[in-house]
A and B are shown apart, each in its own frame.
Chain A
Amino acid sequence: MGLFDWLKPGASDPAIQAAQAASAQRQQDIQQSLRSGRVPSDIAARLEGSRNGTQPWIATLTPAELLIARSHGFRPIAAISATCWLHYGWSWTEGHAQGWEAALRRLRAEARACGANAVVDVKMRSIALAVENSMDFTLIGTAVRVEGLPASEEPVIATVPALEFVKLLDADIVPTGIAIGAHYQWMTDWRDSARMTWMGNVESRPLSQLWESVRQRAHADLRQRAASQGNGVLAHVNFSQMFEREGDPKQYLGRHIVVATVVDVPGAQGTRGRWRGSDTQRSAPLAQEFKMVVDVHAGGTPLTGSSRHHQAYQTNDEDGAI
């Protein structure tokens, strides 16, 4: 008996005790399942219900997305999610890659449990709770099945909404997964060359070089991780930071994280950057027709007060994009 147990209503109520015991058991199951790479049993049971149609399907899709998904033969099965709450021990930067990859593995396991061909509308989320140098890496998406296709052992993970997913498929391009490139590097400034207090206009070569080297390694990392899933990436996050650590000598930390959607383009050329020859084959041209439309609904005019055309009443002195 704890000292404050009288504050907890119904602590002696058997129903509440049973619920607490069930919750404890459930959590134990979640931990054990995740440790051994399985889908926790309650979730597996729910997914199984949606898979065989005894339970309603759940989709994060909007009605418009549902329409286009249906017209292309997709059926939503279940909303699936995965989380890995990770504490950064030895590296914040590489912790990010590690955290997302763990979440991806778990998401893929849930998708497999659904009998899905793909997961669409995958969102990367994190709760803004800065708990002791840690962060949660959460993925949420909708598992879908293509009518007439068998379940896939390796469902594709598409970080794009259903509309864009279908748009890509029509062009014979498959968004296959997420790739993370992350790298950090410390530079010790032995000669104090980054201190330039009394200098005029001059580039800081050591810092430029630090940034350059960090960035190149992060991108190489990205390419390497993407190569097992497809032959191209559409990057949506390019994050970089630089810090100074006081001391003698001073140290500088550069870190860079790139998050990208991997795509698989049929017959695309070997686009290995600088080693590419000029005799590459052309990938199949897009069959889709594009027409120029004017959307009479969208804003972007001074009359709707969008900030691009009206900014006299806002501050505009922030650093950022030019």
Chain B
Amino acid sequence: MTSQIPAHAQERLKGLRSSAHSTGVFTSDFSVNEFLLVRKAGFEPIGLCVGTCVYHVGIQYGSWKKNEELQVLSKAMYHARELAMARMRAEAQAMNADGIVGVKLTIKRLEWDENLLEFIAIGTGVVHGDGHKGFRAHDGGPFTSDLSGQDFWSLLHAGYRPVEMVMGSCVYHVAHRGMFAALGTTGQNVELENFTSAMYEAREIAIERMQHEAAAAKAEGVVGVDIHEGSHGWQTHVIEFFAIGTAVLPLDQEIAPEKIADPIMVLSVND
């Protein structure tokens, strides 16, 4: 049954083949499945693209009794992410990549200063194997996408291509309730309307900003959107709403829905 192993691989397993390549090494942070599917989709990884930014966030306190966006914090989160993403993209451009897949964006607080945040964007730069340039973003630069290799393959097979990783962010201060308001509702189940509306407004701002970015990238839609809230060591009542996703466009040759293969149902025996 060893015939199933291709010749090159067999040579290598015998330990006979020279392992030194003169051509250099590509780097990636793909898993095995991602690697196989990105290649199957017709792309080759060429190198890890990283963008970082250590950012000092200015101080801002929300007024105690007011629902409001904290402009300083919002802008900081936005600007720092933007810088990290732009640097990652510049790296991809320098290696002549057609796009970046599997972008991961992380934030870390530096331990010695609570106002210093470290933003890191990492993804794998890929090129189209046949040199097809039609996958680039609207500005001719590499596309960016936070989709995994598997999702990338699926997206292409669904008739779409990624254009740009888009995001929207809003840091929001939720008003504190006055003492009398709190006393007045003791022992009752009541909706805290100002809290509810704070959540609504903050989330809406984040989503709208993301949608605006997608429109600016001339995308048709945004796929794989994650909307969530978090706090990066700010005082209580301050939350960040964050929306992130991949803006997509139909492929040049659109696939008719009936041409898309139906998925097969399987029952996995692994767990």
**Interface residues of A, Cβ cutoff 8 Å to B:** 64, 71-73, 117-118, 146-150, 152-156, 160, 164, 167-176, 196-197, 199-204, 207-208, 211-212, 215, 219, 222-223, 226-236, 238, 240, 242-244, 260, 262-264, 266, 268-274, 276, 278, 282-283, 285-286, 288, 290-298, 316-322
Contact = CB atoms under 8 A, between A and B. Distances in A.
Contacts of A176: 12, 19
Given A215-B50, A232-B25, A276-B46, A283 B129 contact: yes
Chain B's interface size range is: 35 or more
B242 A322 contact: yes
A98 B265 CA distance: 47
A321 B120 CA distance: 10
B268 interface: yes
Interface string B245-271: 000000000000000010111111111
Contacts of A168: 32, 36
B263 A234 contact: no
B179 to A, nearest CB: 26
Contacts of A204: 54-56, 116
Given A211-B52, A232-B45, A274 B96 contact: yes
- Binding site of B, secondary structure by majority: helix, strand, loop or mixed? mixed
B56 A196 contact: yes
Nearest to A71: B1
Nearest to B105: A322
A290 B40 contact: yes
Interface of B: 1-2, 4-6, 8-10, 12-15, 19-33, 35-37, 39-40, 42, 44-48, 50, 52-59, 72, 75-76, 79-80, 83, 94-96, 104-113, 115-116, 118, 120, 122, 129-131, 153-154, 157, 228-233, 242, 244, 261, 263-271
A165 B106 CA distance: 30
Which 10 pairs, one residue from A and one from B, show the smallest C-beta to C-beta distance?
A152-B15, A270-B23, A272-B24, A200-B58, A207-B54, A73-B2, A172-B6, A271-B26, A244-B112, A292-B263
A167 B32 CA distance: 8
B28 A232 contact: yes
Nearest to B57: A201
Contacts of A266: 6, 8
A143 to B, nearest CB: 12
Nearest to B47: A273
A202 B56 contact: yes
Given A242-B118, A271-B44, A292-B154, A219 B55 contact: no
Contact of A117 (B13, B44, B75, B76): B13
14 contacts: A172-B6, A174-B13, A201-B72, A231-B24, A235-B48, A244-B112, A270-B22, A273-B46, A285-B39, A286-B39, A293-B265, A316-B229, A320-B106, A322-B242
Contacts of B244: 322
B26 A268 contact: yes
A298 B24 contact: no
